Amino acid sequence: MMQINIRNSVLVISLLAPLAVFLGERACALSLVYLNAPGRMQTYANFTSHEIKFASKIRNCEDALLIEPRGLAILACDPGRETWNTVMGDFFDQAEPDANAELYAYRYAEPSLPDADSLVRIEVAGFDSELRTIGIEYHEPSSTLFVTNHPRQGPRIEQFYLDLETLTATHVRTLSHPLITTPNSIVALSASDFLVTNQHYFTARDYPRLLWAFESYLAPPLGSIVHVRISEDSTLDAAVIARQAYPNGIALLNGTTLAVAATNKRLVYLYSISNTERTHPSLKFESSIWLPFLPDNLSVSKGGGALLIAGHPHLPSLNAFARSRRVCHRPDVLTDGGQHALKMCATAGAASWASEWTPEHGVRHIYSGWEYPSSASVVRDPERGVGIVAGLYARGLLVWWD
């Protein structure tokens, strides 16, 4: 009898222990709802000066990347995300989709240029279907620009040839594959192979809302990191090389270390990446970085090789803010909404958080606050002392000077 009891309790403990770890981990991730609530969240502004630029010209720029030698930032901005967001699962019926997302170049190294000259729209050539951008990636040696696209026709990646002299992006091909389901961020390894994250297994478009929510909040390791090789005849050879919870931003820290955000776990995972001369590289989990916010996109600053992490400190505010933009960013809809809409738009806010990590110093915070909303990406040119934060649902960009 006694023995059975002991066995039973061993069994119970061995079942409960992982459950306790799981619940503890979930509690840590979900505690941000309390810790980062408006008024309670710790704020930082670790720079000399800052400005919110181009607020009347661009909005919803989820991604920014730097081409340091030219002092150029490339941006992808999609006002249409207000009515069609495949990541957060917000879809509003419309007779006609919104106008396509646009690409921009910002000459950040010449602060004396007037705004009208420092922000230039990139001409898109040879492309006439819907463009709903999320992540962008530029492979400099081959002038290849990869853009993750979430149009109504289904998820895909658009490949462009980006001429930096004329600022023209010429469409080369559309890449689609059964393993490219919710393409989010891309890191190019060469002109013809790249890694891409699929942040959900149960996509908001194809599965019941409950499954999507289950995956978002319980964080099972179902999202994938896929390696794609484009062969000479344009066919794709793709393979899942790792699975984890909510893989979002992805960046190569150096030749052997890959960083991938696990948004709903408050972690950035570091993997060692090996290319043992096989078709697809392999990943091995090494360690993780713990954050006071939900990490979205990652980038690496050229000089010091620091990992830059932007993300979302307070999800309830972000969700409400995201849904309200369809009204607040559109004067015609706002007018129709009357007093109620005006009040909502005057009070809705979403926080931002941008930090930097190095193995020597750990995590250091650059900006956190409510003045600029919904940070999704942060990039930094340490030599020129300039940084940019881009917000998923923000007007303009936050630009800071060290």
Q: How far apart (Å, rounded) are the C-alpha atoms in residues 133 and 116?
A: 24
Residues 6 or more apart in contact with residue 110 via CB below 8 angstroms: 71, 118
Q: Identify the three-state secondary structure at position 41.
A: coil
User: Does 375 sit near ligand NAG (CB under 6 A)?
Assistant: no
Closer to ligand NAG at the Cβ: 359 or 385? Answer: 359
Least CB distance to ligand NAG at residue 14 (A): 34
Using CB under 6 A, pick the residue from 187, 219, 222, 394 that binds ligand NAG.
187
Size of the site for ligand NAG (CB under 6 A): 28
Residue 154: CA atoms inside 13 Å, Cβ hemisphere, count? 9
Closest CA to 300 of 353, 351, 260, 241: 260
Using CB under 6 A, pick the residue from 124, 230, 245, 251 that binds ligand NAG.
251
Residues 6 or more apart in contact with residue 373 via CB below 8 angstroms: 321, 349, 350, 351, 352, 391, 393, 394
Q: How far apart (Å, rounded) are the C-alpha atoms in residues 311 and 374?
A: 8
User: Does 299 sit near ligand NAG (CB under 6 A)?
Assistant: yes
User: Does 245 sit near ligand NAG (CB under 6 A)?
Assistant: no
User: Does 134 sit near ligand NAG (CB under 6 A)?
Assistant: yes
Least CB distance to ligand NAG at residue 236 (A): 18
Least CB distance to ligand NAG at residue 10 (A): 38
Least CB distance to ligand NAG at residue 5 (A): 48
Q: How far apart (Å, rounded) are the C-alpha atoms in residues 63 and 234?
A: 26
User: Does 185 sit near ligand NAG (CB under 6 A)?
Assistant: yes
Using CB under 6 A, pick the residue from 58, 238, 242, 253 that binds ligand NAG.
253
Q: How far apart (Å, rounded) are the C-alpha atoms in residues 113 and 304?
A: 28
- Position closest to ligand NAG via CB: 135
User: Does 257 sit near ligand NAG (CB under 6 A)?
Assistant: yes
Q: Identify the three-state secondary structure at position 304.
A: coil
Closer to ligand NAG at the Cβ: 108 or 327? Answer: 108
DSSP single-letter state for residue 264: G
Q: Identify the three-state secondary structure at position 350.
A: coil
User: Does 149 sit near ligand NAG (CB under 6 A)?
Assistant: no
**Which residue is listed with tokens 């630009």?**
399
User: Does 46 sit near ligand NAG (CB under 6 A)?
Assistant: yes
Closer to ligand NAG at the Cβ: 147 or 327? Answer: 147
Cβ count near 245 (within 10 Å):
22
| Part in contact with ligand NAG (CB under 6 A); list of ranges 106-114, 132-140, 230-238, 346-354 | 132-140
Beta strands in 89-205 (DSSP E): 90-91, 102-107, 119-121, 123-125, 133-139, 144-149, 156-163, 168-175, 183-188, 193-198
Closer to ligand NAG at the Cβ: 136 or 348? Answer: 136
| Part in contact with ligand NAG (CB under 6 A); list of ranges 29-37, 107-115, 185-193, 332-340 | 185-193
94's tokens: 């419309």
213's tokens: 């929510």
Using CB under 6 A, pick the residue from 77, 136, 273, 351 that binds ligand NAG.
136
Amino acid at 46: N
Site residues for ligand NAG per CB under 6 A = 44, 46, 62-63, 65, 134-137, 184-187, 249, 251, 253-257, 297-299, 359, 364-365, 376-377
